[in-house]
A and B are shown apart, each in its own frame.
Chain A
Amino acid sequence: MTPVAVMVGANRVVAAAGIIHPLGNAELSADDEKALRRRIVAQALEALKTEVARPTVFSSE
C-alpha cells in the first residue's frame, strides 16, 4: 500500500509487513515476530529523524 500512501502525500512512509498484520507475522516464532516489529519501528524512528522534501518511502534493506 506504500504507493497509495505516497499518492495521498504522506511524507515519511515505511513499508511494513503486510495489510493483515503490518507489524507482525503469525508464521514467525514469537521471538522472530517481535524482532520483525522492532525493525519496522526502528525504521519508522529513522524516518522521523530524516529530513524529506517530498513523500519518501523508507524500505528495510
Chain B
Amino acid sequence: MPLRVVCYVNQFFGQLGGEEKAGVGPQVVDGAVGAARAVQQALGDAGTVVATVICGDNYVAEQADRALAEMLKYVRDARPELLVAGPAFLAGRYGVACGALAAAVQAELKIPAVTGMHAENPGVDLYRRQVYIVETGAEATRMLAEVTRLVALALKLVRGEAIGAPATEGYFARGLTRNVEVATIAADRATAMLLDKLAGRSFTSEVPRPAFASVPAPRLLKTLEGATVALVTDGGLVPKGNPDGIEALNATRYGAYSIEGKAGLDAAQYDNPHRGYDTSWVKQDPHRLVPVDVARELEQSGAIGKLHETVYSTVGVATTLAHSARMGAEIAEKLRAAGVDAVILTST
C-alpha cells in the first residue's frame, strides 16, 4: 500500500494566482496540484499525494487560528500518514504558515509532518524546534532536488528510521542534544581542532555558539538636556521582600520600581536576590548598582531633561536568551510608551 500523503501549498504554488489571490481561504483539491506534483515525483511508488490543501498567504497571516483549524480539518478528512508543507523558500508568510500547520498536524493527528525553507525565513526560528524543516534555497529554482531531500527525510520519519544529525540530513537543528559515540576522546579532538586553527585550516566546533542578531544602533533624537533617561539593571535590585519574586538565577520575571520623589536609594529598603555575584557591596549601597543619586543630580542641574521615575530590574545570571529577549522587548515597550528617550542599563 503506498503511503497516503497530503501536501500544503500557498496560492502561488497551488496555481491560484499571485498576490492578488493571497486573501483566498483554504480549499482542498484531490491529488497533487502545483508544487505538490514535485512531491509526488519525489515519492515515486513509495506514496501517493491524495490531496493538496491550498490557502492564500494573507488569509493565514491575518487569521491564523481560523485558517489553521480549517486546514487541519481538510488534512484530517484526507486521512494521511504524512504531511508535506511547502517548501516555502524565503517567503515569510508562507514559511510561518508551513511551520504552524506542520506543528499542528503533528500534535493533533499524531503523524509526521515536514516542511522546507530558507535559513532566513522567519518560520525557521519559530518552528524548527517542533518540526523538521529542511534547508532550501531562497527561490524555487532547485525545487525537485530540494523536495527530493525533504521527501527522503519524511519517509525516514514515517518508517521510524533513525534520523541523522542536522548537517547530515540537511534540516535545521532542533535544539536537541543526543549522545553519540566517537572514536577519539574529547582532549584529542580539542587538540586537533586547536592545531587546525593555528595552521589556518578549517574546523567545526562541537559547541556551536548562539548567533546574536545585530541590532541597529538608534540615534538619540533629542539633546540630553531635553531627554528623559531611564535606569534599568540586570544586577538584581529589588525592594525588600522581593515583591515580584524575581528568581535568584534563570530569571523569567522583572520588576518595575518607582523612585518618584527619591533623591537616592535607601539601602534599608532594598535587597538583592542575584546569585551570580557577591551582592554584599550593592546591598550596602544600592547606588553601586543603580546610580539614582547621581542621575537625580544630573536632572536637577539640567544636564538631562528628566530622570524616568521607574527603574526596571531583573536578575541576569543563567537567564535564557529567550527570556532575556522577551523581557528586554517588554521593558523597551513600556519605556517607549512612557516617552523615555534613552536608557542606561547597568550590568554586573
* Contact surface of A with B, Cβ cutoff 8 Å: 1, 5, 7-9, 11-12, 16, 19-26, 33-34, 37-38, 40-41, 44-45, 48-49, 51-54
Contacts A20-B278, A21-B281, A24-B288; A48 near B224 (Cβ below 8 A): yes
Within 8 A of A (CB), among B298-348: 298, 303-304, 342, 344, 346-348
CA distance A41 to B285 in the complex (A): 16
Total of A-B residue pairs, C-beta within 8 Å: 86
* Contact surface of B with A, Cβ cutoff 8 Å: 212-215, 217-220, 224, 229, 235, 277-282, 284-285, 287-291, 293-295, 297-298, 303-304, 342, 344, 346-348
Instruction: Tell me if A26 and B284 are in contact (CB < 8 A).
Output: yes
Instruction: Tell me if B212 and A23 are in contact (CB < 8 A).
Output: no
- Can you spell out 29 A-B residue pairs with CB atoms less than 8 angstroms apart? A1-B347, A5-B347, A8-B212, A9-B213, A9-B215, A11-B215, A11-B218, A12-B217, A20-B278, A20-B279, A21-B281, A22-B235, A22-B346, A23-B287, A23-B290, A23-B294, A24-B282, A26-B284, A34-B293, A37-B288, A40-B291, A41-B291, A44-B344, A45-B304, A48-B224, A48-B342, A53-B217, A54-B214, A54-B217
CA distance A20 to B287 in the complex (A): 12
Instruction: Tell me if B215 and A23 are in contact (CB < 8 A).
Output: no
CA distance A23 to B345 in the complex (A): 11
